[in-house]
């Protein structure tokens, strides 16, 4: 069943320039399959030493004639080649992610790999469209010609999480490369394999050595060395809010540019006129997909009083029919969560929810004995003052709370320190627009959920982050704007 013969991850090596190197300390970290606890690979446990070498390699590539003078059209063609290469290896990448992260392979093939492929293809178009402006200078304007140019920020330190390793790495690398930057990428120590394989495929696609370097290892060593390195110009981070805050504080030392994609507690709001045939399965999948390990998961159901019972019963029914199992089985919809730490954390939150007075409805009791599985769970009757309403659980756990009016729904939606996404189910067009405007979140999906598109800037309000990835905003955040002012008189 677990056949790794087709998987080629550069075992125990990191990419610095064109070389695959082991950690100089010789240390490695075990890679565990969350479906059964098997150790099936090793990654290098890098240190500040390898980070420094990787930054030097990225700096040299940034300044090289080959990269810095590459015509935008040729950079565009290169990103297209990367997209093609990843697409050709889609099956292998999905399988590798399934082993490493636990997620169902067929869902990785449907979501993770295409998201990565498409951002390279989309960003290929931006290489040739990064414009400055001509500026109508006031005052003595007739004597000056002024314009802006957009230049690449420089060397990027990219740090990614374990829930969608390949898309998060691809979003950062594709956008940074489109802008002309070079990258040192540190994937989560829990799921580094698809990132390493992506880097290998990018070299095969013709990406010049040093444009992408990957240093694997622990957050507190490799991550810390990257965020404190004085020759890194910008950190692009996706991960937890506490680490994001630490990065922001650390960046004050040398005023590194920082963009942060952090946690969330996104609401799914069901209005009384919603089409429940759509809203119910969507609300279920908005939380249970990827075992709830999605930063913008619809983890708080806010449901109108008049349809609450029907919606809860419906979500329970959907969840009951989601097969739980290891990620290589074609029928699996719910894989394991990523490790024991997460499983314990999620189960603890279910207990806390019950202690706080919620009813825990477990939708599926057929849980495999081995591995880190958690059944989809609804916590019904959750009070807005409770911990489970306010804290990110990051597992297949939906809190459910009733409301009576539109204003109450908006107030509950906004009662959060986060503001990443919101799913709104409503047939009334005017109410939809009113609510989309009033909800404090980076993305509001109306009668839809989980639509990520490389053209749609993504990011958070409040403690869900700073900056927007992908889309025009996403490429421009890897540039600096320079004003040039030229006298027209000699």
Interatomic CA distance for residues 45 and 209, integer angstroms:
22
Closest CA to 381 of 363, 357, 362: 357
Is 485 catalytic? The answer is: no
Residues 207-236 that bind Mg ion (CB under 5 A): none
Residue 406 phi/psi, 5-degree rounding, is -60, -45
Q: Which residues of 393-413 are buried (b: 16+ CB within 10 A; e: fewer)?
A: bbbbbbbbbbbeebebbbebb
Considering beta carbons, is residue 263 or 336 the nearer one to Mg ion? 336
Interatomic CA distance for residues 34 and 354, integer angstroms:
27
Told to check if 100 binds Mg ion by CB under 5 A, we report: yes
Beta bridge partners of 19: 16
From the list ligand NAP, Mg ion, none, pick the one residue 419 interacts with, judged by a Cβ distance below 5 to 8 Å according to partner type.
none
Closest CA to 43 of 86, 13, 3: 13
Is 303 catalytic? The answer is: no
Give Cβ neighbours of residue 5 (< 8 Å, ≥ 6 apart).
Answer: none
> Would you tell me which residues interact with ligand NAP (CB under 6 A)?
159-163, 186, 188-190, 218-220, 223-224, 227, 238-240, 243, 246, 261-264, 295, 392, 394, 420, 460, 465
Which residue is it, tokens 């627009």? 433
Considering beta carbons, is residue 9 or 205 the nearer one to ligand NAP? 9
Mark residues 24-43: x for contact with Mg ion by CB under 5 A, - for none. -------xx-----------
Least distance to ligand NAP from the beta carbon of 71, Å?
32
Interatomic CA distance for residues 63 and 239, integer angstroms:
30
Catalytic residue among 127, 181, 295, 303: 295
From the list ligand NAP, Mg ion, none, pick the one residue 100 interacts with, judged by a Cβ distance below 5 to 8 Å according to partner type.
Mg ion
Interatomic CA distance for residues 243 and 248, integer angstroms:
9
Considering beta carbons, is residue 342 or 423 the nearer one to Mg ion? 342
Told to check if 189 binds Mg ion by CB under 5 A, we report: no
Residues belonging to the chain? 490
Catalytic residue among 50, 118, 189, 261: 261
Residue nearest to Mg ion as judged by C-beta position: 100
From the list ligand NAP, Mg ion, none, pick the one residue 295 interacts with, judged by a Cβ distance below 5 to 8 Å according to partner type.
ligand NAP
Considering beta carbons, is residue 35 or 212 the nearer one to Mg ion? 35
Interatomic CA distance for residues 332 and 321, integer angstroms:
10
Stretch touching Mg ion by CB under 5 A, among 69-77, 96-104, 121-129, 358-366 = 96-104
- Binding site residues, Mg ion, CB under 5 A: 31-32, 100
Residues belonging to the active site: 261, 295
């Amino acid at each position: 069943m677990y056949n790794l013969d087709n998987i080629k991850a550069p075992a125990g090596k990191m990419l610095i320039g064109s070389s695959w190197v082991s950690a100089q300390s010789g240390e490695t970290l075990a890679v565990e399959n969350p479906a059964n606890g098997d150790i099936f690979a090793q990654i290098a446990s890098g240190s500040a030493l390898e980070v420094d070498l990787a930054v030097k390699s990225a700096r040299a590539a940034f300044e090289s004639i080959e990269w810095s003078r590459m015509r935008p059209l040729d950079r565009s063609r290169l990103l297209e080649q990367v997209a093609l290469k990843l697409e050709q290896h889609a099956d292998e990448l999905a399988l590798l992610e399934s082993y490493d992260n636990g997620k169902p392979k067929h869902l990785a093939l449907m979501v993770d790999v295409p998201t990565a492929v498409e951002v390279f293809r989309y960003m290929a178009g931006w290489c040739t469209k990064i414009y400055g402006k001509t500026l109508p200078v006031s005052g003595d304007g007739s004597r000056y010609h002024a314009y802006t140019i957009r230049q690449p920020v420089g060397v990027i330190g990219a740090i990614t999480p374990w829930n969608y390793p390949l898309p998060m790495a691809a979003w950062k690398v594709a956008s940074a490369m489109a802008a002309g930057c070079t990258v040192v990428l540190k994937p989560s120590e829990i799921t580094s394999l698809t990132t390493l394989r992506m880097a290998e495929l990018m070299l095969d696609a013709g990406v010049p050595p040093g444009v992408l370097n990957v240093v694997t290892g622990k957050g507190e060593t490799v991550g810390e060395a990257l965020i404190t390195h004085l020759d890194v110009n910008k950190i692009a981070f996706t991960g937890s809010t506490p680490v994001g805050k630490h990065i922001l504080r650390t960046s004050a030392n040398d005023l590194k540019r920082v963009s942060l994609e952090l946690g969330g507690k996104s609401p799914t709001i069901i209005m009384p006129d919603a089409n429940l045939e759509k809203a119910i399965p969507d609300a279920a999948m908005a939380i249970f997909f990827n075992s709830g390990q999605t930063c913008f998961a619809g983890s708080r159901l806010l449901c109108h009083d008049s349809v609450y019972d029907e919606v809860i019963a419906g979500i329970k029914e959907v969840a009951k029919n989601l097969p739980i199992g290891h990620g290589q089985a074609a029928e699996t919809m719910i894989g394991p969560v990523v490790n024991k730490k997460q499983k314990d954390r999620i189960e603890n939150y279910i207990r806390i929810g019950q202690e706080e007075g919620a009813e825990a409805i477990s939708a599926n009791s057929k849980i495999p004995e081995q591995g880190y599985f958690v059944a989809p769970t609804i916590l019904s009757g959750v009070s807005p003052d409770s911990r489970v309403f306010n804290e990110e659980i990051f597992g297949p756990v939906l809190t459910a709370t009733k409301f009576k009016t539109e204003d109450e729904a908006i107030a509950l939606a906004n009662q959060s320190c986060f503001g990443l996404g919101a799913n709104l189910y409503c047939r009334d067009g005017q109410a939809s627009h009113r609510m989309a405007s009033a909800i404090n979140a980076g993305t509001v999906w109306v009668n839809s959920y989980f639509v990520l598109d490389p053209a749609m800037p993504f990011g958070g309000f409040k403690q869900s982050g700073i900056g927007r990835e992908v889309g025009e905003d996403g490429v421009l955040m890897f540039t600096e704007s320079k004003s040039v002012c030229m006298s027209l008189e000699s």
